[in-house]
Amino acid sequence: MKFAAVSEDGITISQHFGRAPIYVVITVEDGKIVNKETRPKAGHHTFAASQHPDTAHGERHGYDASAQSRHATMAQTIGDCHVLLAGGMGWGAYESLVAFFLFRLFRKGKNWGSPTLW
């Protein structure tokens, strides 16, 4: 089974899915970690030039066709993974990723510290 975690430094799980530049992918077989690799991740830095539709305060964003396309691009790199670990993400990204293929394993709340990946 492969687990992907969004990260900014390759060590800790990022608090924001869209801002993280990399995935850390850990492969587990027979209850043991057999491989760890880093993969590039598309995100806010990749799509900075694209326009985002305005959303009223308190409304959810990330549901329009261009957002769905961005979320698909972010997911392509981890298409072989079964679980995604992230500190948080917008509702549009969350629902897109769940619909694409991933189980749900997300931390809720704030000030949980910095869990390590290795």
Q: What 3-state DSSP class applies to 23?
A: strand
> Domain of 6?
2-51+70-106
108 pLDDT higher than 70: no
- Give Cβ neighbours of residue 27 (< 8 Å, ≥ 6 apart): 1, 2, 3, 33, 34, 35, 36
Query: Does residue 20 fall inside a structural domain?
Result: yes
Q: Would 44 be classed as within a structural domain? A: yes
pLDDT band at 9 (very low <50, low <70, confident <90, very high): very high
The pLDDT value given to residue 58: 61
Name the pLDDT band for 30 (thresholds 50, 70, 90).
very high
60 within some domain: no
Number of domains the chain contains: 1
In total, the chain counts a number of residues equal to: 118
Q: Is residue 11 part of a domain?
A: yes
Can you give the pTM of this predicted structure?
0.71
Torsion sign, CA atoms 16, 68, 66, 77: positive
Q: Give the residue-averaged pLDDT of 4-20.
A: 90
- Answer whether residue 39 is part of any domain: yes
Task: Give dist(CA 18, CA 48) in Å, integer.
Answer: 11
Residue 38 pairs with which residues in a beta bridge? 24
Q: Is residue 56 part of a domain?
A: no
- In-domain check, residue 42: yes
Pick the closest to residue 50 from 27, 73, 26 (CA basis).
73
pLDDT for 17 equals 84
Say which CATH number the domain at 93 has.
3.30.420.130
Of 7 and 88, the structure prediction assigns the larger pLDDT to 7
22: in domain:
yes
pLDDT digits (tens, 9 = 90+) for 31-72: 999 999 999 987 655 555 555 555 555 655 555 667 777 777
The Cα 78–Cα 75 span in angstroms is: 6
Q: For position 22, what pLDDT does the model report?
A: 94
